[in-house]
Structure 1
Amino acid sequence: MTARRYEGYDLIGDVHGCGLSLRMLLARLGYSKKDGVYCHPKRQVIFIGDIVDRGPHIREALYIVKDMVDAGHAQIVMGNHEYNLLCYCTPKPDGSGTFLREHNPRHRRILQESLQQLDPYPADKADFMAWIKAMPLFLEMETFRVIHACWHQELIDEFKGMMGGNQIDDAFLYRSAEPDTFEWVLMDRLLRGTHLKLPNGEVMVSRDGFKRRYFRTKFWANNPQRYSDVVFQPDPLPEHVARMPLTDRNRQDLYHYASTEKPLFIGHYWCEGDPLPLTNNIACIDYSAVKYGKLVAYRYDYEKTLSADKFVWVDVRTEVLTKTK
């Protein structure tokens, strides 16, 4: 058996521009700067994506992460917010002057902090866009897997057969902006996860003020019966919807990651409270940092069963208030 290069990996959840908290978390994990780049003598970071959007220090966070990746001290997978930003900034190849992601008020609102912080630095922005496009969509290691939102084996296998690896190219990116293509379906599932449409044309208004007709779902629920058994998001379903039984069509739209699969690390889902594994082999490490939650890491040391005592975090509200006193 080949020797392991690292004693372990530190998987860090959605940063969303919380650059100060990222520095604090890296220090707490034992990383320090060498030649201007955070590193550890025996461990490597894996970022789960969503470095951009919403937070106050997006450009700083991007530099911290990119410098670590470029120097070999970290790896990263693409998040849906990186993908959204890339599509928003990429012109359609038809010469129409429009972009892969429509420049409408809703999209602008989601991306506004990233655009405001990157637009004054066009050279940096161009470098970051090229770097984002080259990000892997997933990582499969000997003993564990990493993806932003959902590991869907059949889609991943088809993607690897098409692309020969875990990265997209220009042609794939362009096709991914066309609804219902394989490329669109794959990016939606891997970077946004599974979801169900609210019944009877209902609409929810989320805490951040967006109207939503779909809700995020678990892809690890075992024999779910009702909507309440599969919902996985901070915003609760209306009570009458939560009690409704799942239909056969609902079940077809769900996906199941078995308990016998490799440990899987995901972000994306805005968890709250004290970090805990979702199952014995799935950990979500997004704990709503930019909403004054926690910026969380999981210290993985090749264990087969994930454990609550392996989480390390910075309490963003406490740390920010302490720093500003």
Structure 2
Amino acid sequence: MAGISLPGTTLLVLCGTPGCGKSTFASRYFRETMIVSSDQCRFLVSDSETNMAASREAFKLFRFTIERRLSLGRFTVADSTAITRQSRGELLRIGRKYGFNITLLIFNIPEDVCLARNAGRERRVVRSVIAKMRQMLQRTLRDAHNEGFDNVYIITEGDLNNPAFRINIRNYEVTLPGPFDIIGDIHGCFDELTMLLDKLGYRNRSNHYAHPACRKAVFLGDLTDRGPRGLDSFWLVKAMVDSGNALYIPGNHCRKLSRYLEGRNVKIAHGMEKTVAEIEALTEDEREFFREEFLKLYREAPPYLILDKGKLVVSHGGIKEDMIGKVSGRIRNFCFFGDATGEITEAGLPVRRDWAQSYRGDALIVYGHSPVPEAVFVNNTIDIDQGCVMGGKLTALRYPELEITQVPAMAAYYERTGFSKNTFTHDDMCYIADSQQ
């Protein structure tokens, strides 16, 4: 493993036996203020790291300090053994309370290495204790993926000794003030996309589109599926992102395609079959190159972006005010799917709460995902998915001008029973099933 990328609002839980090197690892990659150490808490309450009789009070301080940091939105490293499911569960509860991403880092270091390191420490742990905790660690390796963590990573001795290993803490706030051209769901409508970029004043250079006035495009995801030229749409967006002329956040269809390209079990339906057909028409080398490049774009993209010093937030499916600045599994799902209740209507469509009706935040929220006939401002939010792939329009919101620019669809590429370009319903009944895959 060459490194790990983590959101800026992460509770990073370190798990391992004494002597595994996790405290040294923490001090190498994180600022001292980011690390909350159970040993240090024991020292603070009793003047001794080895006073095990003070552990109860020490862990009260440990959890209290973590909560205080999370309440202020600060990246936090929980440095304890976290070897029992109960101890990890307590940290999960705290992380969920504050809407944080909760990542578990398990240090799977050979027992003889841990014993050798332990022997060289001033504060040594009894050999039999390390052996017992090593057995508990094996159960953790087996069960941790099902405990509710947003991510679980395994650190090996090779990672500890790899000088190229990096920890990247992602900040989803981009201080760029704009100007931006925020573009709604493309869904393989490549011709309409190029028409819209031309209308917005972008020029097609040798290998990417760029604006002579240095405007940036912001793509709201769902680049492929349903339309006729999904791969071309992807390559256009990728070239603009790579050249610095665009920003990108993924949509739920991007998420599903990433899972397909990873070899996971997904249902190829609801327009995805068009993208799969395009991929299968490629040569083996071309397929592998597309897979690598798509996954790179997807994995490096945040679930939402905070722009113009917090005045603008873009998210595929929307975002609530109290979610802004945080990242967790629940928030990621909201950004992908909107405020889905988990219920389904008689027509087979997902039931969603209209979160925009109760939004009262200062930041303008621009989103897509659920096609509506017209782009209308509602409580400082605007949905710019006008269902181009279904015969509607491809929309861009110019910021800070707040001007709508659109091009009509050249055809209705994807049809659904009961849908017309003048009667839009929430998109689409595969979302509930897909969110479980």
TM bracket (short chain) = 0.5 to 0.7
Aligned residue number for residue 294 of structure 1 = 393
Separation in 1, partners of 2:196, 2:412 = 10
Following superposition of structure 1 onto structure 2, how do residues 94-243 of structure 1 map, counting pairs within 5 Å? 99=264, 102-104=265-267, 107-119=268-280, 120=282, 121-122=286-287, 123-141=289-307, 142=309, 143-159=311-327, 183=329, 185-196=330-341, 198=343, 203-205=345-347, 211-212=348-349, 214-221=350-357
Aligned partner letter, 1:36:
N
Secondary structure of 1:312's partner? strand
CA apart distance, 1:103: 3.4
Asked if 1:316 is matched to 2:418, the reply is: no
Letter in 2 for 1:144: L
Deviation at 1:261, TM superposition (A): 1.8
The secondary structure found in structure 2 opposite 1:140 is strand
Structure 2: which amino acid aligns with 1:188? N
Instruction: List per-residue Cα deviations over 1:271-312 (Å, max 9, x = no partner).
Output: 11x432233x111111001001000001112x6xx5xxx101
Q: Deviations over 1:177-235 (max 9, x none)?
A: xxxxx62x33321110112355xxx7433xxxxx33x32331122xxxxxxxxxxxxxx
Distance 1:297 1:70, change over 3 A: same
Structure 2 residue identity aligned to 1:37? H
* Shift of residue 39, structure 1, vs aligned partner: 0.5
Tell me which of the two structures has the higher relative contact order, counting C-alpha pairs closer than 8 angstroms and 6 or more residues apart. 1
The superposition leaves residues 23-73 of structure 1 with CA deviations (integer Å, 9 ceiling, x where unpaired) of 000000000112221100221110111111111011111111110010000
Asked whether the 8 Å contact 1:118–1:125 carries over to 2, the reply is no
1:271 aligns with 2:372: yes
Deviations along 1:113-150, one digit per CA (max 9) or x if unpaired, are: 11111232312233212221211211101121111112
Aligned equivalents of 1:118 and 1:51: distance in 2? 14
SS in 2 for 1:204: coil
Q: Provide the aligned length of Structure 1 versus Structure 2.
A: 231
1:264 is displaced (CA, Å) by: 1.1
2:223 matched residue in structure 1:
51
Query: 1:27 and 1:157, CA in 2 relative to 1: closer, same or farther beyond 3 A?
Result: closer
1: CA distance, partners of 2:212 / 2:243:
13
Asked if 1:36 is matched to 2:236, the reply is no
Q: TM-score, normalised by structure 1?
A: 0.65
**1:157 CA displacement:** 4.2
- The code of the aligned residue for 2:313 comes to R
2:353, 2:212 → 1: CA distance?
38
CA distance in 1, matches of 2:194, 2:412: 11
Q: Tell me: CA distance 1:283–1:108, structure 2 relative to 1, closer, same or farther (3 Å).
A: same
Q: Which amino acid aligns with 1:116?
A: A
Distance in 1, Cα, partners of 2:409 & 2:275: 20
| Residue segments in structure 1 that go unaligned for 5+ positions in a row | 92-98, 160-181, 206-210, 222-255, 321-325
Q: 1:8 Cα shift? A: 1.4
Where does residue 27 of structure 1 map in the other structure? 198
TM-score, normalised with respect to structure 2: 0.49
Change (3 A) 1:9 1:109: closer
2:216 is paired with a residue of what secondary structure? strand
| Cα distance in 1 between the residues matched to 2:312 and 2:331 | 21
1:173 corresponds in structure 2 to: none
C-alpha distance in 2, partners of 1:24/1:76? 19
Amino acid at match of 1:268: H
Q: 2: CA distance between counterparts of 1:76 and 1:313? A: 19
**1:277 aligned partner, one-letter code:** F
Equivalent of 2:233 in 61, 64, 83 = 61
The alignment status of 1:15 with 2:181, answered yes or no, reads: no
Secondary structure of the corresponding residue to residue 370 of structure 2: coil
CA contact (8 A) 1:151 1:257 kept: no
- Cα distance in 2 for residues equivalent to 1:157 and 1:32: 34
Structure 2 gap ranges (5+): 1-174, 414-437
Alpha carbons of 1:319 and 1:80: their partners in 2 closer, same or farther (altered >3 Å)?
closer
Question: How far apart, CA to CA, are the structure 2 residues paired with 1:6 and 1:36?
Answer: 26
What amino acid maps onto 2:301 in structure 1? M
Does the 8 Å contact 2:318/2:368 carry over to 1?
A: no
Q: Tell me what 2:362 maps to.
A: 261
Aligned residues of 1:56 and 1:113 also touching (Cα < 8 A): yes
